[in-house]
Amino acid sequence: MKSVENIENLIRSNPWIHKLHKAGLLRIIAEPCDIDLEIAHISYIEVKKPNSQALLFLNPTNSSGAKFAPVLTNVFGSFEALNLILGREVEEIAGEIEALLKPKKPKNFKEKIDFLSYLVSLRKVFTKRKKVQGECQQVVHTGADVDLGALPILKTWKNDGGAFITMGQVYTKDLNGDTQNLGMYRLQVYDKNRLGMHWQIHKDGAHLYHEYARAGRKMPVSVAIGGDPLYIWCGQAPLPKGVFELLLYGFIRKEPACLVKSITNDIYVPHDADFVIEGFVEPGEMCDEGPFGDHTGFYTPILPFPVMRVEAITHKTNPIFAATVVGKPPLEDKFMGYATERIFLPLFRTSAPDLIDYRMPENGVFHNLILAKFHSRYPAHAQQLMHAFWGVGQMSFVKHAIFVGEDAPNLGDYRALAKFILDRISPRSLTFSEGVCDQLDHASPNACFGGKLGIDVSQPSASPAPQVLSDEDLLESFHSVKKDVVSLAQHFTECKNPFVLVNLKKTSSVRETFEQLCKEAGANFKILIFTDEKNDPNNLYMSLWRVVNNIDALRDVFINGEHIGIDATSKGAQDGYDRQWPGETLCSREVLETLVARGLIERDEEFWHKFEIV
pLDDT digits (tens, 9 = 90+) for 498-528: 999 999 999 999 999 999 999 999 999 999 9
Neighbours of 605 (CB within 10 A): 9
- Going by pLDDT thresholds of 50, 70 and 90, the confidence category of residue 9 is confident
108 and 162 part of one domain: yes
Predicted confidence (pLDDT) per residue in 144-197, tens digit: 999 999 999 999 999 999 999 999 999 999 998 888 999 999 999 999 999 999
- Start-end of H helices in 272-330: none
Q: Largest alpha-carbon pair distance within the chain?
A: 80
User: Which range has the worst mean pLDDT, 101-115, 440-454, 569-583?
Assistant: 101-115
Is position 178 annotated as part of the catalytic site? no
295 and 346 part of one domain: no
- Is residue 41 within 8 A of residue 62, CB to CB? The reply is no
Over range 526-550, report the average pLDDT: 97
| Residues 56, 72: Cα–Cα separation, whole Å | 5
pTM over 0.85: yes
Query: Which pLDDT score, from 0 to 100, does residue 49 have?
Result: 97
Query: Which pLDDT score, from 0 to 100, does residue 492 have?
Result: 97
| Residues 107, 114: Cα–Cα separation, whole Å | 11
- Is residue 289 within 8 A of residue 151, CB to CB? The reply is no
Q: Is a pLDDT exceeding 80 seen at residue 614?
A: yes
125 and 75 part of one domain: no
**Domain termination site, one of 433, 456, 479:** 456
> E strands of 523-611, at which residues?
527-532, 557-560, 563-567
Q: Is a pLDDT exceeding 70 seen at residue 3?
A: no
Percent over 70 (pLDDT), the chain: 96
Predicted confidence (pLDDT) per residue in 20-34, tens digit: 999 999 999 999 999
Neighbours of 82 (CB within 10 A): 21
251 and 186 part of one domain: yes
| Residues 239, 249: Cα–Cα separation, whole Å | 12
| Residues 376, 518: Cα–Cα separation, whole Å | 33
Neighbours of 413 (CB within 10 A): 12
Over range 31-40, report the average pLDDT: 98
**Is 464 a member of any domain?**
no
357 and 451 part of one domain: yes
DSSP lists the bridge partners of residue 164 as: 188
**Which distant-in-sequence residues (6+ apart) come within 8 Å of 614 by Cβ?**
586, 587, 589, 592, 608
Q: Is a pLDDT exceeding 70 seen at residue 127?
A: yes
Burial letters 231-253, b for 16+ CB under 10 A, else e: bbbbbbbebeeeebbbbbbbbbb
Predicted confidence (pLDDT) per residue in 205-264, tens digit: 888 888 999 999 999 999 999 999 999 999 999 888 888 999 999 999 999 999 999 999
Q: What DSSP letter does each residue of 473-506 carry, written as one string?
A: HHHHHHHHH-TTEEEEEEE-TTSSS-EEEEEE--
Burial letters 207-216, b for 16+ CB under 10 A, else e: ebbbebbeee
| Secondary structure (3-state) at 266 | coil
- Identity of the residue numbered 87: G
Q: Is 97 exposed, middle or buried (0-12, 13-18, 19+ CB in 10 A)?
A: middle
DSSP lists the bridge partners of residue 57 as: 29, 71
Query: 541 — phi, psi (to 5°)?
Result: -60, -55
**Which distant-in-sequence residues (6+ apart) come within 8 Å of 391 by Cβ?**
none
Q: Is a pLDDT exceeding 70 seen at residue 103?
A: no
**Is 599 a member of any domain?**
yes
382 and 495 part of one domain: no
13 and 103 part of one domain: no
| Residues 443, 581: Cα–Cα separation, whole Å | 8
E strand or H helix that includes residue 2: none
Neighbours of 321 (CB within 10 A): 24
**Is 223 a member of any domain?**
yes
| Residues 140, 264: Cα–Cα separation, whole Å | 11
**Is 462 a member of any domain?**
no
- Is residue 103 within 8 A of residue 122, CB to CB? The reply is no
What's the number of CA atoms in the CB half-sphere (13 Å) around residue 15? 10
| Residues 282, 291: Cα–Cα separation, whole Å | 23
282 and 364 part of one domain: no
**Is 463 a member of any domain?**
no
Give the residue numbers spanning the domain of 40: 4-85+589-610
Q: In whole angstroms, what separates CA 538 from the centre of its chain? A: 25
293 and 416 part of one domain: no
Cis peptide before 106 (omega within 30 of 0): no
Percent over 90 (pLDDT), the chain: 79
200 and 265 part of one domain: yes
**Domain termination site, one of 402, 427, 456:** 456
**Is 584 a member of any domain?**
no
Report the mean per-residue pLDDT for the chain. 93
Q: Which of 101, 138, 129 lies closest to 13, judged by CA?
A: 138
Task: Give the CATH number, domain containing residue 276.
Answer: 2.30.110.10
**Is 327 a member of any domain?**
no
129 and 170 part of one domain: yes
Task: Give the CATH number, domain containing residue 531.
Answer: 3.40.1670.10
Over range 364-383, report the average pLDDT: 91
Q: What DSSP letter does each residue of 104-169 carry, written as one string?
A: PPP-SHHHHHHHHHHHHHGGGGS-EE-SSPPGGGSEEEEGGG--GGGS-PPB-STTSSS-EE-S-E
Q: Is a pLDDT exceeding 80 seen at residue 393?
A: no
Q: Is a pLDDT exceeding 80 seen at residue 575?
A: yes
Question: Among the options 204, 294, 438, 556, which is catalytic?
Answer: 294
User: What total of structural domains would you count in the chain?
Assistant: 4
Neighbours of 5 (CB within 10 A): 8
Q: Count of residues for the chain?
A: 614
4 vs 463, more confident: 463
E strand or H helix that includes residue 28: strand 26-29
Q: Which of 227, 221, 232 lies closest to 199, judged by CA?
A: 221
- Identity of the residue numbered 573: A
Query: Which pLDDT score, from 0 to 100, does residue 472 have?
Result: 97
- Going by pLDDT thresholds of 50, 70 and 90, the confidence category of residue 475 is very high
- Going by pLDDT thresholds of 50, 70 and 90, the confidence category of residue 410 is very high
DSSP lists the bridge partners of residue 195 as: 189, 308
Q: Which of 516, 525, 520, 522 lies closest to 488, judged by CA?
A: 525
**Domain termination site, one of 398, 428, 456:** 456
Query: Which pLDDT score, from 0 to 100, does residue 115 have?
Result: 59
**Is 580 a member of any domain?**
no
Over range 269-292, report the average pLDDT: 96
102 and 81 part of one domain: no
Q: Is 470 exposed, middle or buried (0-12, 13-18, 19+ CB in 10 A)?
A: exposed
Q: In whole angstroms, what separates CA 342 from the centre of its chain? A: 15
| Residues 170, 182: Cα–Cα separation, whole Å | 6
Query: 370 — phi, psi (to 5°)?
Result: -130, 140
Query: 489 — phi, psi (to 5°)?
Result: -150, 130
- Going by pLDDT thresholds of 50, 70 and 90, the confidence category of residue 120 is low
Q: Which of 395, 340, 124, 393 lies closest to 246, judged by CA?
A: 124
